[in-house]
Structure 1
Amino acid sequence: MIKQTFLFAALAVFLLSSCSVSKTARSQRNLFSGSWTLNNISYENNTGNFKSVIFNDADDICFEGSDWFFRDNNSTGRYTISSSTLCQGGDRFFRWSVVEPSQNYSSQLQFKFIDEKRKDISGGVGYRLNIASINEQNMTLKSNVSVDGEPVTIVYEFTKK
């Protein structure tokens, strides 16, 4: 009986630890929580003037000044784009998580679009941004894309509200 109890306890500990996230990912999740402003989008690793459609949603200029909110207790969030002649404003809802680092990349923010009722509207397609830096006041995310076969890094710079 003691062997069975010990085996059951060891199995429970293994299952709980295998489902948990690392201390680093948990810390980054906590830092994401709250309201942010996307202040600037810039481009690295290539020269020239760039204009892009971000997240298959709107032109890069529409995202500058957008408000982002991350709720860590249920992994949902939204960003709000202001209406203008160039931009269709409004809220966009998403489900998000922090992906553990691996040999190929640093920690990443991962998200996909959902509706107000938290139903997937993206057909399972999502986005991943490398977490270049994050602290209580600032966050920098980066995504690597290709333009005419050449690599370009899109840099997103946020400040916490």
Structure 2
Amino acid sequence: MKKLIYLTLAVLVFSCSGTKSTTASQPSKKMLKGTWEVTNIKFVGDKGLYKAFLFDLADSSCFKGSEWVFIPNNGSGKFSTNVNSSICDAYTQTIHWSFLESADGYTQFQFKYVGDDIKAKNVKSGYRATILEISDNMMLLKVPSEYEGNPFDVIMTFNKTSDSIDL
């Protein structure tokens, strides 16, 4: 009888310890709900001149001041580039986004371009960036890039401007 009690306790202890807990470092989609602005862009890599064409769309400078809207319940959203110089065209793009747990332990933000006649399931390629830091009001993304054959990272700082989710 005593062995049966110890066996039951052991099973209970081991069955409870196997569950995965959610920590502050694991973002939830609800954290991104709202409207965000890219407030800073910096380059990390060897010293030198950097030019980044981000997301096959525009020069990195066009993304400073850009507005991003994230809707967590269905992963939809959009972003609008900022017209801050002669090299930037005003552009708005609808996206479908999600998080991906990578093998290195970081969470990645990933998205695909979609539209009225283009569904996410039909888009074969997209973009990924590593989430370096995230809270309810701020997010740092590391976007891998390359210039003249030299790899470097673009760090984008997002700050929440509103809880509004108007597409």
User: What band does the TM-score fall into relative to the shorter chain?
Assistant: 0.7 to 0.9
Determine what percentage of the aligned residue pairs are the same residue. 30
Q: Give the Cα–Cα distance (whole angstroms) in 2 for the partners of residues 28 and 72 of structure 1.
A: 9
**Structure 2 match to 1:19:** none
Q: Give the Cα–Cα distance (whole angstroms) in 1 for the partners of residues 121 and 33 of structure 2.
A: 23
**Structure 1 match to 2:41:** 41
Cα RMSD for the two superposed structures: 2.5
> Relative to structure 1, is the Cα distance of residues 122 and 147 closer, same or farther in structure 2, using a 3 angstrom cutoff?
farther
For structure 2, list consecutive stretches of 5 or more residues without a partner in the other structure: 1-20, 162-167
* Cα deviation digits, residues 111-155 of structure 1 (max 9, x gap): 110013552498411011000000122110002234444331110
**Structure 1 match to 2:106:** 106
Which residues of 2 match residues 49-60 of structure 1 at below 5 A? 49-60=49-60
> Relative to structure 1, is the Cα distance of residues 120 and 54 closer, same or farther in structure 2, using a 3 angstrom cutoff?
same
1:144 maps to a residue whose letter is P
> Relative to structure 1, is the Cα distance of residues 120 and 160 closer, same or farther in structure 2, using a 3 angstrom cutoff?
same
> Relative to structure 1, is the Cα distance of residues 54 and 122 closer, same or farther in structure 2, using a 3 angstrom cutoff?
farther
* TM-score w.r.t. length of structure 1: 0.76
* TM-score w.r.t. length of structure 2: 0.73
1:82 maps to a residue whose letter is N
* Cα deviation digits, residues 13-62 of structure 1 (max 9, x gap): xxxxxxxxx84597431111211000111111221121211100011111
Q: Give the Cα–Cα distance (whole angstroms) in 2 for the partners of residues 91 and 122 of structure 1.
A: 20
2:39 maps to a residue whose letter is N
For structure 1, list consecutive stretches of 5 or more residues without a partner in the other structure: 1-21
> Relative to structure 1, is the Cα distance of residues 144 and 81 closer, same or farther in structure 2, using a 3 angstrom cutoff?
closer
Q: Give the Cα–Cα distance (whole angstroms) in 2 for the partners of residues 119 and 154 of structure 1.
A: 28
SS in 2 for 1:62: helix
> Relative to structure 1, is the Cα distance of residues 29 and 120 closer, same or farther in structure 2, using a 3 angstrom cutoff?
closer
